[in-house]
Amino acid sequence: MVQAYRADTGNGGVGPQPSGSRFRNLRDRLTRDTGIWRRGIVLACCSVLLTLVMVLHAHIPNTIGNLGSLSETFLPWIAVFVPVLLVLGLVRRSATALIALLLPIVVWFNVFGGLLTDKSGTGGDLTVATHNVNADNADPAGTAQQVAGSGADVIALQELPTGKVKTYESALAGRFPYHSVQGTVGLWSKYPISDTRPVDIKMGWVRAMRTTVTTPKGEVGFVVAHLPSVRVKLHAGFTASQRDESADALGEAIADERLDRVVLLGDLNGTMNDRSLNAVTSQMRSTQGAAGDGFGFSWPASFPMARIDQIMVRGIDPVSSWTLPATNSDHLPIAARVKL
């Protein structure tokens, strides 16, 4: 005997269910399961908060512990919260949390997506490099030779202790016949330099200088700077007041620079997002932002989290920008190729 059998198709057993019916069933299930929308409200609010920080970071006040500058320094790292919120949203089975997560994702890619692409080009007339060598560097000669191995035509070094200057000079003498050390910063060049002098950045001792490098394509003004360090302290927040005052002084010096073509090399102890560096960043272009590949984080060398070492230009076109291998310093050296 053959027993009659009718498949339960969800529409009376009369064949395949129309796509419209499947959509209505899904809609009905979502409508009945109100928890999928009610759960995860706190997670959704966290996504909105992340979005607001990225969109309105310029309005976060610096009056309390320089909170605005602190948030801008590590702004790209907001992305690490996205997978956390994604996992929590899936665990909670919350449609609200997952949909809200689209907000910070879209805004982050709008703000930082351009840095993820390789914008480096070919050609160029001059290669420059800069490195905070660390005053406690146990191998100054090896560090200098390693940076020189990048093929740079001009090298700037910061945090040069008086007792080790001769070591750096000896290590670089063979490749760079022209150099000048002013205070704790120095510049080495394959081309003649002139009109070299300290730059006052309101610190009480010399941590900045300027010089003219006469390249085969003409004169270029070079500024080397090491702005004051910043710290994050529980009782005081982001202590950056002295750095901010020095940045303003450096901006004035760059504005007064007589040459149209200028290269700024140094440790600015701040990122391009930090509003407190506007006196400098408003006048110059970052080679990493214009011609780099990725974020180019330079500090700390053991696990780079921020690009506080900078190569910036005015009246010059960046061609490429990159980070060099680690030395004995707590910073990574960086280099750039520019077109004059």
Coil/strand/helix, residue 80: helix
Q: What's the pLDDT tens digit per position in 143-194?
A: 999 999 999 999 999 999 999 999 999 999 999 999 999 999 999 999 999 9
From 82, 98, 116, give the residue that closes a domain: 116
Whether residues 90 and 154 fall in one domain: no
204 and 308 part of one domain: yes
Q: What's phi and psi for 198, nearest 5 deg?
A: -70, 155
pLDDT of residue 236: 52
pLDDT, residue 3, reads: 52
In a domain? residue 271: yes
Is a pLDDT exceeding 70 seen at residue 8? no
The reply to whether 56 falls in a domain is yes
- What's the mean pLDDT in 79-88? 96
Domain span at 303: 126-339
203 lies in a domain?
A: yes
Q: Show the tokens assigned to 272.
A: 């391009």
* Whether residue 240 sits in one domain with residue 164: yes
3-class SS of residue 136: coil
Task: Give the number of other Cβ atoms within 10 Å of residue 329's Cβ.
Answer: 25
Q: Are residues 43 and 154 in the same domain?
A: no
pTM, to two decimals: 0.85
User: How far apart are the C-alpha atoms of 109 and 297, rounded to whole Å?
Assistant: 18
Nearest to 298 by CA among 273, 269, 278, 319: 269
56, 133: one domain: no
Separation of alpha carbons 305 and 206, rounded Å: 28
Calculate mean pLDDT across residues 204-220.
Answer: 97
Q: Is residue 121 assigned to a domain? A: no
- Name the band, by pLDDT with cuts 50, 70 and 90, for residue 23: low
Question: So what's the pLDDT on residue 39?
Answer: 86
- pLDDT at residue 6 in the model: 46
Cα torsion through 274, 250, 175, 167, rounded to 10: -90
Considering the chain, what is the average pLDDT of its residues? 90
Average pLDDT over residues 100-107: 97
Same domain membership, residue 309 and residue 328: yes
Return the pLDDT at 64: 78
DSSP state of 118: B
Tell me if 313 sits within 8 A of 111, measured CB to CB: no
pLDDT at 160: 98
Q: Is residue 11 part of a domain?
A: no
Question: Is there a single domain that holds both residue 109 and residue 159?
Answer: no
Domain edge (last residue) among 57, 86, 116: 116
Q: Are strands 208-215 and 178-182 parallel, antiparallel or unpaired?
A: unpaired
Q: In this structure, is residue 180 part of a structural domain?
A: yes
pLDDT value at residue 38: 78
- State residue 34's pLDDT score: 59
| Residue at a domain's end among 96, 116, 136 | 116
Instruction: Work out the pLDDT band at 36, boundaries 50, 70, 90.
Output: confident
- The pLDDT tens digits of the residues spanning 289-319 come to 999 999 999 999 999 999 999 999 999 999 9
Cis check for the bond before 318: say yes or no (omega within 30 of 0): no
- Of 214, 207, 180, 208, the C-alpha closest to 196 is 180
CATH number at residue 145: 3.60.10.10
Mean pLDDT is lowest, of 21-30, 100-109, 130-139, for: 21-30
Report the domain count for the chain: 2
**265 and 141 in one domain?**
yes
Contact criterion met (CB below 8 Å) for 264 and 223: yes
